[in-house]
Copies of this chain bind each other. A is one copy, B any other.
């Protein structure tokens, strides 16, 4: 009887930002917010190998909607099923399992209107952009801390404190630990059960893993961090594989069977978290143990296993993957040259016809390596070059300071000067009525518009003492329309109103001008922009 009670126990977990962590709340049948996380815990077999022996799924139904999700073994005889309801109303479920204890279990809950800060998962919107499930635009302003969840707890807490004050709403992060220049820490937990540990001749530790048995504590911890990020409104761009293992742990070289087993377990655990994005790999082409074709198999496995179709991409080293393939919702590019001058970022957007995020464009820092010493001005300009072209850019920081961690891999504190400027740009973009794009993309790489009433013109490194008011005829409003202007210093983060207004002429040779051919005086400083807003009359 006690077993029966235990079996009927399920943990309903609010995933909304007001609550501390997934693993804590246990109020039975509490309503779940739309896009929140509902969790069922069931007692089941703990003998044999529960990871490989037991199959468990549940069908969740509401009206004529039916969604099948896969459960997973969470250790200590406990199995879990997680579900993210996308529709308000009553949902019920029923389990299917090859284990008698787990089969035919059922239950229900009510899904309610989400709280104000819960916008749902992010989806692709209008070919090149993103929005939350509730329709609010989402402009990715990401940062990078590859192995932050594999650092000491204190550093992880510091990372969260840093992110709380930073302007970023996405973070690129790996599941597995990283070994690389400036990143040498041994993690405190591993994703797998360790079969044995031996010490090599030069003191290096050789681990032997049981790739058929996961370590639930490792994943519980990862989930806690993903929930922490959700509370900060930060999307977790989760990197499933990466090449920064180099034989130290062997997680990049488990073979296809174990890779697929890992992918399915990961997706079963995490897909009900609204802020998860799947990044199939960082620098996929540098993972020499996996042939190029394997990424089709892996990507398809993720997409097939994820009932919510979270955003999914694959990130390159030197060679781009086939980003047009249907598994990939958007394009995640490494190539700093795309955003270090005008006219480049838009080219890949046009080619792929998907949202493009330049997820690695070198990092602000002081490393000798050329990928690790962008000036803060360069990092900031990269964001502007991406944004005006209707694409997005991701930040990373590689300052090596005595006694401190290096944020790009380990998290910790930020030391750079670009984050505040990136936040300034983010505010500007969020004030626009929609995403920007170049008005005349083949001929004018500076003039961006949200619509025919809202322009942002960026000058980058080019300094000039004045700007003749002129706009492309493409996307311009009718002659007679009046604009006000503001001078923006993107580095000093100032917005200075211009006292004149400007009244459009008819088109003259592909451009429109102010009817008095007015100019705006510019200070001789780089990184300026002009914002134009139509004056309603």
Contact = CB atoms under 8 A, between A and B. Distances in A.
A353 B320 contact: yes
Nearest to A510: B370
Interface in A2-28: none
B445 A337 contact: yes
Interface string A342-359: 111001101111000000
Contact of A351 (B337, B352, B510): B352
Interface string A59-79: 000000000000000000000
Contact of A320 (B337, B338, B351, B509): B351
A461 interface: no
A324 B509 CA distance: 36
A342 B343 CA distance: 10
Nearest to A362: B442
Interface string A177-194: 000000000000000000
A370 B443 contact: yes
Nearest to A334: B442
B320 A442 contact: no
A515 interface: no
A322 interface: yes
A128 B336 CA distance: 22
A432 interface: no
Interface in A335-386: 335-338, 341-344, 347-348, 350-353, 368, 370
A445 B323 CA distance: 24
B370 A335 contact: no
Oligomeric state, in copies: 2
B351 A343 contact: no
B348 A347 contact: yes
Interface in A490-520: 509-510
Contact of A344 (B320, B322, B336, B347): B347
A351 B353 contact: no
A352 B319 CA distance: 11
Contacts of A510: 370
A435 to B, nearest CB: 18
Contact of A443 (B322, B337, B347, B441): B337
Contacts of A337: 343, 441-443, 445
Nearest to A444: B337
A337 B368 CA distance: 34
Given A347-B338, A445-B337, A322 B324 contact: yes
Given A319-B350, A319-B353, A348-B348, 8 more contacts: A320-B353, A335-B350, A337-B445, A341-B342, A344-B344, A351-B351, A370-B509, A370-B510
8 contacts: A320-B351, A335-B350, A335-B442, A336-B442, A338-B347, A341-B342, A347-B348, A348-B348
| Interface pairs A-B: 10 shortest CB-CB | A351-B351, A337-B442, A347-B347, A324-B324, A337-B343, A344-B344, A320-B350, A335-B442, A348-B351, A370-B510
